[in-house]
Every structure is written in structure tokens, then in C-alpha cells.
Amino acid sequence: MDVLTLPAEIRQVAAQARRQGRTVALVPTMGFFHAGHVSLMQWARAHADVVLCSLFVNPTQFGPAEDLSSYPRDLERDARLAAEAGVDALFCPEPGTMYAPDHGTWIEVPELAAPLCGATRPIHFRGVCTVVAKLFHLTTPHLAVFGEKDWQQLAIIRRMVRDLDFEVQIVGRPIVREADGLAMSSRNKYLTAEERRAAPHLHAGLQRLQQLVDAGERDAAVLASELRSWYGQHLAVGAEDYISLVHPETLVPASRLEGPTLAAVAWRLGKARLIDNLLLQPHP
């Protein structure tokens, strides 16, 4: 596996693969890999001739009070895991090679970026869209693979690709969880022992919602209230960021469940801000 640091290098690798008629898959990441990241790479390996993975802690998607400087990093371990997963080239640029000192061009999808995580991270998705667009230009992938844990991010990138006519298929892959249900995240490293014991209740509450839907409940406000009450009983540590039931593509709040509806939650546990979601399926 090649480890590349310059945009010109990854552009050359991708262009050569394209010239050879090979299918290129890109897996964009911020590193500190866990089994969720590895599953994306393995899926890409099974569906493309050439697998490129970017590892870039993108400064433009962090707010001034967020954890850019402390975000966990372990390049040596990440490179080993990527190679074992079948990645052909790992792209690890420095911020100065991705953004000029006077960089002033941004890509935004305001309608989808405003709710959920965007309410408390107002510049986050602007940074995500801009860096992902830059990566798409550099690598011209046929496929780009993202995890569904960041469902809002996935919806925004799909809209960006549609609106700007990027010739890339966006692939969303299921959340990978710990044995107790906690969604895998690089930021789980921040959890104390007590917080880690409590964290699986985030997913358990979402499963409880599906049980209520299976029992016939369709009122979104009732479901949100039930979930908030459930967390009050079972997730005593930390604090709610949001609990929302929304349309899975438009992210517009739902009033009633007329079809698949996304239940999305964010919870602050100490230094960690955990997100999770579940696509609720109402059956006739």
C-alpha cells in the first residue's frame, strides 16, 4: 500500500487507474480507525479495482471550541489496518497542502445542514462538503463509501453530488456497533468508564422506539417524548443535544410516521458528543 501526502500524488494514482479502465473507490475518513472504518474499506475492496482511502483531520469542519487539536490520531496503526483491509493508497495530506492560506471558496447545502448536528455545529457541514468535493476532484472515484452513523452527512453529500453533477455513486453502509450496541466512533476514546457503561443506552432507546412503532404508535411527538423519558430513566449521565424524527432524505421533521422515518439523536457525555440513529419502519 502506498502512503501519499501530496494532492498531486493521489491525483496521479487515480488518473492512471481511470486511464486503465479500472473502477476506483474512495473511502474518506479522519483516521483513528475502528471496525466501522475497516468495514467501509472492505466493502470498497470487494466492489472496486482500486481502493483509495483519505485520512485527513479536516480543520474547516471544526468549530473554534471543538476538539481539532485533541482529535485522536495514530497514523502507524491506521496505515496497518488500511493495508490489511486491502487499501491500495492511503492519502494523508497536511492542511497546508489542501487549503491555500487565502482559501475562500466553500460549498454548502444549507437546507440539509441547518437541523440536527448543524444546529450546534453551524460551520461543520460547510467544511465537510468543501473537503469532500476537493477529494472527489482529486480522485474522480466511481464509488465513494460512507458510514450511515453520520446519516445527516450522508444525506448532505448525496444532495451535493446531485446538485453539482459529480459523476460518483455514493454508497452508505450500515452502522458497526460494539457488542453492547454502542455505535463505533473515534471519539468513544473520550468516554470515562462510567460514561462508557451508560453509552449503550443511546442505541437501546432507539430500539425501544421501534418496539413502540411495531405496537402501532405513529405520532412523532409522542415517540420523541417517550424516548426522552426513556433516556431520563436509563441515561442519567450527560445531556441531550437533540432527539429528532425526520424524513430520511430531506431531514424535514416528521409529524406522523407514514413511511420509513429516521430517529436521530445526539447526546453529550463528558468530553464526547455521541450521535446515533435508527431508520424506523412502520408496518401496515
Question: Are 168 and 30 within one domain?
Answer: yes
Could you tell me if 215 and 237 lie in one domain? Answer: yes
86 is in an annotated binding site: no
Is residue 142 annotated as involved in ligand binding?
no
pLDDT in tens, 249-273: 999 999 999 999 999 999 999 999 9
96 with 234, same domain: the answer is no
Give the integer Cα–Cα distance in Å for 38 and 188.
Answer: 16
Does 37 carry a binding-site annotation?
yes
Asked if the structure places residue 106 within a domain, the reply is yes
The residue out of 173, 208, 243 marking a domain boundary is 173
Domain range for 53: 2-173
Name the domain boundary from 134, 151, 173: 173
Q: Is 54 annotated as a binding residue?
A: no
CATH of the domain at 236: 3.30.1300.10
Average pLDDT over residues 38-45: 98
179 assigned to some structural domain: no
> Domains in the chain: how many in total?
2
Angstrom CA distances, 100 to 44, 95, 97, 103, 248, stand at 31, 9, 7, 5, 35
The answer to whether 149 and 34 are in contact (CB under 8 A) is no
Q: Does the annotation place 127 within a ligand binding site?
A: no
For residue 233, pLDDT over 90 is answered with: yes
255 is in an annotated binding site: no
Amino acid at 20: Q
Q: Taking 90 as the threshold, does the pLDDT of residue 283 lie above it? A: no
Among 173, 199, 233, the domain boundary falls at: 173
Residues 6+ apart with CB under 8 A from 65: none
Q: What is the pLDDT of residues 83-139, one digit of tens each?
A: 999 999 999 999 999 999 999 999 999 999 999 999 999 999 999 999 999 999 999
Residue 284 predicted with pLDDT over 80: no
Phi-psi region of 257 (alpha: psi -120 to 50; beta: other; left: phi over 0): beta
Residues 6 or more apart whose CB falls under 8 angstroms from that of 16 comprise none
Tell me the C-alpha to C-alpha distance, in Å, between residue 140 and each of 130, 143, 168, 176: 15, 9, 8, 27
Judge if 62 and 32 occupy the same domain.
yes
Selected catalytic residue, list 37, 142, 201, 203: 37
> Do the domain assignments include residue 181?
no
Q: Is 283 a known active-site residue? A: no
Q: Is residue 178 part of a domain?
A: no
Shared domain for 16 and 135, answered yes or no, is: yes
Closest CA to 217 of 248, 256, 246, 253: 256
- Looking at residue 145, its pLDDT comes to 99
> What is the arrangement of strands in the sheet containing 239-246, beginning at the earlier edge strand?
239-246, 261-269, 272-280
Question: How many CA atoms within 13 Å lie on the side-chain side of 230?
Answer: 19
pLDDT in tens, 193-204: 999 999 999 999
Ligand-binding annotation for 34, yes or no, is yes
pLDDT digits (tens, 9 = 90+) for 133-181: 999 999 999 999 999 999 999 999 999 999 999 999 999 999 999 999 9
What grid cell was written down for 229? 423519558
For 279, list phi and psi in degrees, rounded to 5: -85, 105
Model pLDDT, residue 236: 86
Say yes or no: 29 and 102 in one domain: yes
What's the confidence (pLDDT) of residue 146? 98
Domain identity same for 226 and 260? yes
- Give a yes or no: residue 90 inside a domain: yes
The values of phi and psi at residue 263, to 5°, are: -95, 115
Residues 240 and 123 in one domain: no
- 198 with 152, same domain? no
Same domain, 193 and 120: no
- Residue 176 is labelled as binding a ligand: yes
Neighbour count for residue 6 (Cβ, 10 Å):
13
CATH of the domain at 78: 3.40.50.620
Contact call for residues 244 and 223 (beta carbons, < 8 A): no
Whether 153 has a binding-site annotation, put simply, is yes
pLDDT for 62-83, tens place per residue? Answer: 999 999 999 999 999 999 999 9
Q: Same domain for 69 and 153?
A: yes
- The proportion of the chain whose per-residue pLDDT surpasses 70, expressed as a percent, equals 100
- Rounded to an integer, what distance in angstroms lies between the CA atom of residue 202 and that of residue 265? 8
Residue 16 and residue 83 in one domain: yes
In a domain? residue 143: yes
Residue 211 known to bind ligand: no
